[in-house]
């Protein structure tokens, strides 16, 4: 008896997603696969139905699995979700024929150290350091122990290449091709005056570098850390170290031109 070919189906609950999920499950079973609506570690593939938010939640909730993902877009932007509901038949045919590439998604790790202990976060798109209730913050920024700047403004985004088209892009940061091992620091409303001088533009940092951010003493309790949009508040922050994560996510790519076509269709 042949081994079951399990495929995890991860979906949000909007009408279009539920309709797409029902159709997908029917067609997968028809082609000899075993769809699972509860997450199975024995699956060979994760199919995420929804928008980019659903994709990010699926990865966080399932602890950054090594099982590759493919996304069916029923949301708005859908930068991670490359397939449309009407492409299910083509997707199954190409998947069975192994007509695809597996690409890596690089992530960012943050070590947030307070006066009492350290906390660890992993972000897919970005980790943001900003002031609570939109207060101005003053942050000392170091790259590999080299002092870069004393930043004053709303905060800083540290984004991955995949995340460069998300919050980073909206804040004026650069678009970085996903296969480049790098992180990007992008300022949020930097203050430049006779009293304060901050870099006005983003900086792209090598993937093996350590970015260290230290809030001024009087701002140690005024810092908010956002991990892919999820808020975390820590008391008495001493430093935040950010590095490219050793963990990686894997995603199916059905066209070498998909990234550029996606970029044009979503943003131009």
Catalytic residues: 52
Query: Are the C-beta atoms of residues 84 and 218 closer than 8 Å to each other?
Result: no
Beta carbons within 10 angstroms of residue 130's beta carbon = 22
* In 24-136, beta strands by DSSP E: 34-36, 45-50, 69-73, 101-114, 118-123, 126-131
CB-based contact 64:109 (threshold 8 Å):
no
Task: Report CA-CA distances (Å) from 176 to 30, 159, 230, 262, 263.
Answer: 40, 10, 23, 14, 11
């Amino acid at each position: 008896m042949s081994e079951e070919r399990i495929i995890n189906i991860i979906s949000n609950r909007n009408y279009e997603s539920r309709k797409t999920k029902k159709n997908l499950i029917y067609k997968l079973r028809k082609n000899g696969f075993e769809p699972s609506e509860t997450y199975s570690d024995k699956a060979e593939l994760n199919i995420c139905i929804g928008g980019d938010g659903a994709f990010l939640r699926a990865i966080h909730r399932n602890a950054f699995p090594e099982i590759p993902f493919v996304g069916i877009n029923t949301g708005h932007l859908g930068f991670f979700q490359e397939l449309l509901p009407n492409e299910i038949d083509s997707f199954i045919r190409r998947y069975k024929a192994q007509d695809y590439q597996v690409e890596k998604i690089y992530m960012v790790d943050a070590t947030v150290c307070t006066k009492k202990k350290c906390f660890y976060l992993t972000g897919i798109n970005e980790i943001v350091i900003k002031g609570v209730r939109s207060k101005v913050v003053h942050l000392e920024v170091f790259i590999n122990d080299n002092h870069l700047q004393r930043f004053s403004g709303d905060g800083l985004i540290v984004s991955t290449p995949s995340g460069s088209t998300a919050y980073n892009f909206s804040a004026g940061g650069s678009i970085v091709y996903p296969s480049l091992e790098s992180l990007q620091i992008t300022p949020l409303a930097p203050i430049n005056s006779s009293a304060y001088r901050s870099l006005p533009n983003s900086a792209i940092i090598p993937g093996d570098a350590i970015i260290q951010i230290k809030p001024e003493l009087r701002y140690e309790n005024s810092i908010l850390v956002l991990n892919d949009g999820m808020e975390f508040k820590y008391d008495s922050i001493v430093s935040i170290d950010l590095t490219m994560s050793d963990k990686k996510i894997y995603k199916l790519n059905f066209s070498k031109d998909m990234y550029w076509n996606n970029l044009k269709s979503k943003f131009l």
